[in-house]
Structure 1
Amino acid sequence: MPAKATDSPTDYEEIDRWMGGVGWIAHPEETMQRASHALLTNDGVWLVDPIDAPGVDALIEEFGDVAGVVVLSNHHTRDADTFAVRHDVPVTLPAPMTDVAGAIDAPTDRLDVGGTLGEYELIEVARSGSTWQEYALYDGETLVASESVGAADYMRVGDERLGVMLLRRLTPPREAFADLQPNRVLSGHGPGVHEDADDALTDAIDNARRRFPKALVANGLAQVRTVAAALRT
């Protein structure tokens, strides 16, 4: 199983379908389980950190016209520009974001923290120089996290339904998510949680530090491999 697939996908795996959108994983075989999402809003469909794959456009079209594409982490652009050019929309970046990994070959615009994409508010999760800049979207029901929180196997330990990335377990995003009570939590890595998501998020954040030793043993090697793959490609 590769940490991060580099070949072109031949298909995709659908995840996270609900009335307000759908998600997909273009490379189900990879450890990172990079997930993309299409969110239905009153502005149209917003694509979040998308990765292209054959047939994905038909999946998106079920929910309407694409209003825009948004990137929530400075560590990747994925295929944001491909989708932006295809649908003739800009790539939206958080206003404070700098040092975005990779050139974006499409028009861009900026969204202030606290600004909205349809009903979704942009939340700052972490910003530490150019090392880690991460954002999330929240509409009162659905939280779309980017990096720190997810359900990919390498992010969880024990009976966790949501886990915190090993690199963030000692400094989990408590402040960013403290006042949120989502019905579902979607992530840039792995499938989302659609039942008792508030409890799963609280458990993940509150116990991130305590479970760090267990997570280090269980997921340390996988985390090193994913970081190396992300830096290499």
Structure 2
Amino acid sequence: MKGGSSSRFEEIDRFDGGVGWIAHADETMERASHALRVPERSETADSANGEAASAGSGDDVWIIDPVDADGIDELVAELGSVRGVVVLLDRHTRDAAAVARRYDVPVYVPSFVDANVPTETKRFSGRLPDSEYDVITVVDWPGWTEAALYDGETLVVADALGTASYFRAGRERVGVHPVLRLTPPSAFEGLRPERILTGHGRGVMEDGTDALRYALDGARSRAPQAWLRGLKSMV
């Protein structure tokens, strides 16, 4: 399920606000990581001053749930300067500590997420520091604590939603995690993202609201199909 024969990452999910990658493109789990760009000045302020916001060395970059790979540093450098590494899920520590130490930045963890990362860690709540990304509590169970990030356009989800084959059923472009199918997280209700970035698989880069609504509305009814597909993926 994890790892693969590929020696370099595959770039995914590029948009004005960031980029993603899958470190081992041929692994079944399709573990995806992302780097989000937060402009040094808000686009609203720039617009008021008659200036256009653009990527540059002054922009903050947040690396989300990273799986490390050769060439990632060059990919991230295109966006700006790394401000921190973020872990959104208790079991998604992945290579967060190693990446954070390489950039000499802390690992940021939402206050309720029970992640043990062996490096400098900072807790945060409400909003990712100096950004428009609100922190959403997705799952808060014993043994499963997960947050998501949402800025009104981009929804970043660690595990509750995914696009890897074992998450999806029927015509779903994104699917609810197999374990959550019978009780899909209410935290996603009412959100209207343009794009959805997930921790497993390529993101949904357009019409994200429709894809999210379809996934949530049919999560229960399509559960048997999704479970069967998941079992087949592990054979």
TM-score by length of 2: 0.87
> Which amino acid is 1:196 matched to?
D
8 Å CA contact retained: 2:4, 2:24: no
> Which amino acid is 1:184 matched to?
R
Change in 2 beyond 3 A, CA 1:177/1:91 = same
Within 2, Cα distance between the matches of 1:209 and 1:157? 11
Deviations 1:168-224 (A, max 9, x none): 101111x211121000000000000012110000100111001011112222343xx
The structural deviation recorded for 1:76 is 2.4
Residue of 90, 110, 119 corresponding to 1:106? 119
Aligned equivalent of 2:35: 38
8 Å CA contact retained: 2:4, 2:27: no
* Structure 1 position 5 matched with structure 2 position 3: yes
> Which amino acid is 1:191 matched to?
R
Within 1, Cα distance between the matches of 2:121 and 2:167? 31
The structural deviation recorded for 1:94 is 1.1
Within 1, Cα distance between the matches of 2:155 and 2:178? 20
Aligned equivalent of 1:209: 220
* Structure 1 position 170 matched with structure 2 position 182: yes
Within 2, Cα distance between the matches of 1:155 and 1:96? 25
* Structure 1 position 48 matched with structure 2 position 64: yes
Aligned equivalent of 2:108: 92
8 Å CA contact retained: 2:146, 2:158: yes
Higher Rg: 2
CA RMSD of aligned residues (A): 1.6
Identity %: 50
* Structure 1 position 82 matched with structure 2 position 82: no
Q: Helix, strand or coil for the counterpart of 1:134? A: strand
Deviations 1:74-101 (A, max 9, x none): 0120111111111111001111122x2x
Task: Please identify runs of 4+ aligned residues in structure 1 that moved more than 3 A.
Answer: none
* Structure 1 position 200 matched with structure 2 position 208: no
8 Å CA contact retained: 2:160, 2:180: yes
> Which amino acid is 2:192 matched to?
Q
Query: For structure 1, which runs of at least 5 residues remain unmatched after alignment?
Result: 227-233
Aligned equivalent of 1:27: 24
Query: For structure 2, which runs of at least 5 residues remain unmatched after alignment?
Result: 41-59
8 Å CA contact retained: 1:42, 1:119: no
Q: For this pair of structures, how many residues does the alignment match?
A: 215
Change in 2 beyond 3 A, CA 1:111/1:22 = same
8 Å CA contact retained: 1:48, 1:72: yes
